[in-house]
Structure 1
C-alpha cells in the first residue's frame, strides 16, 4: 500500500533515482568475464538489485520487479541464461543488439534496434550480443524484486561456476548460523 502522508521531499528521496547518482557496476557479472572476456558489461541499477547483485543501497526498493540499464560495449555479450522464476524484458535504448532465445535445442537470433523490445517468459534460455561497432544500452526488467540466481546451459563453464558459488554461499551461511 502506498504512503500518502509523506512529504514530497521524502517521496523524492525514496522513489526517484537519477542518472547522476547511478554507478556503472562492471563487477556485478565479473565472474562471467573470467570465463570469456566478451562477457564484460556493466549494470546500472535503478529499481531493485537484479538477478545477480547481492545488495545496492542506492536503488529504489520495489515490491514486484527490478529495472536496470545494461551497457554492452561493441562485441560484448550476455551469455545464455535461464530464469525459471521470472519473466525478463530487454528494451534497447541505444544501438542495436542480437537477442538470443533457445527453443528446443536451437538458439535463435533476433535483431533488435533502438526502441525495440523483447519479452522472455520464465523457462527459456536467453542472452544478448552487441554485434555493432558502438556501445549498446538496454533497459532490463525482471518480474521479481530479487529473482533467483539464473542458471546456465548444463555442462557450461558458467554453470560450473554458478554451482561452486552456490555451494560456497551455502557453506558460509551454515557457518554463520553455527556462530
Structure 2
C-alpha cells in the first residue's frame, strides 16, 4: 500500500516504534558472552534487524539503515569486529565509553561521553568498552537494511564461532 493512501492508524502501526512495546534483548549477542562474560550487552531494535538478523516482528522495516539502542553494563565490552559493507555509528546517550578502532595494526581507544558520536567506515575493526561507573546506553546505526554479518579478528574464538553461525543466519534471513 502506498504511504499516501495510509490512514493515520496504518502509518503509525507501520512507522512508529515506541519504547513501551520494546524489550531489551539480552540473548541476541549471548553467544559472545559465552566466550567472555565481559561481552555481555543487550540490544533494543527499532528499525531493521541489524547485522544479527534476528527476526523481530516488532521493528519498523528498514529500507536503508538499521537503528537500535545498546545497553553496555559497567566494565563490559562490545568486542572488536569488522563490517565489510557498512559504516557503523555509536552515539552515546548515557555513560562513558571508549571506542576501540584498529589503525595500522594497532588498537587505539577514543574516549566518548554523553552525546559524543563515532562513525566507523566499512573495513575498520571497531568495538566499544564501558569505562564509566554505570551502565552505558548507546544508539547504534548500521548503513544498510540487512548488513553482512560482522567478522572478528582472525583466529579469535569469536571468529571461529561466527563461521559456524553464518549458515544459521542465512537461514533466518531466507525464511523471513
Matches within 5 A, 1:3-152: 3-152=3-152
Following TM superposition, the consecutive aligned residue runs of length 4 or more in structure 1 with deviations greater than 4 angstroms are 167-170
Aligned-partner Cα distance in 2 for 1:169–1:110: 31
Instruction: Determine helix, strand or coil for the equivalent of 1:70.
Output: strand
List gaps (5 residues or longer) in structure 2: none
Count matched residues.
Answer: 173
Q: Is the 8 A contact 2:90 2:138 kept in 1?
A: yes
Q: Is the 8 A contact 1:98 1:129 kept in 2?
A: yes
Q: TM-score, normalised by structure 1?
A: 0.92
Q: Is the 8 A contact 2:52 2:169 kept in 1?
A: no
| Alpha-carbon displacement from aligned partner over 1:110-159 (angstroms, at most 9, x marks no partner) | 00000000001100000000011101000000000110100000000000
Q: How many Å apart are 1:168 and its aligned residue?
A: 5.8
Q: TM-score, normalised by structure 2?
A: 0.93
List gaps (5 residues or longer) in structure 1: none
Aligned-partner Cα distance in 1 for 2:14–2:113: 33
Q: How many Å apart are 1:96 and its aligned residue?
A: 1.1
| Alpha-carbon displacement from aligned partner over 1:85-107 (angstroms, at most 9, x marks no partner) | 00000000011110000012100
Seen in structure 2, the aligned counterparts of structure 1 residues 38 and 2 have a Cα distance that, compared at 3 Å, is: farther
Aligned-partner Cα distance in 1 for 2:89–2:124: 12
Q: What value does the CA root-mean-square deviation take over the aligned residues?
A: 1.8
> More deviation in 43-52 or 2-11?
2-11
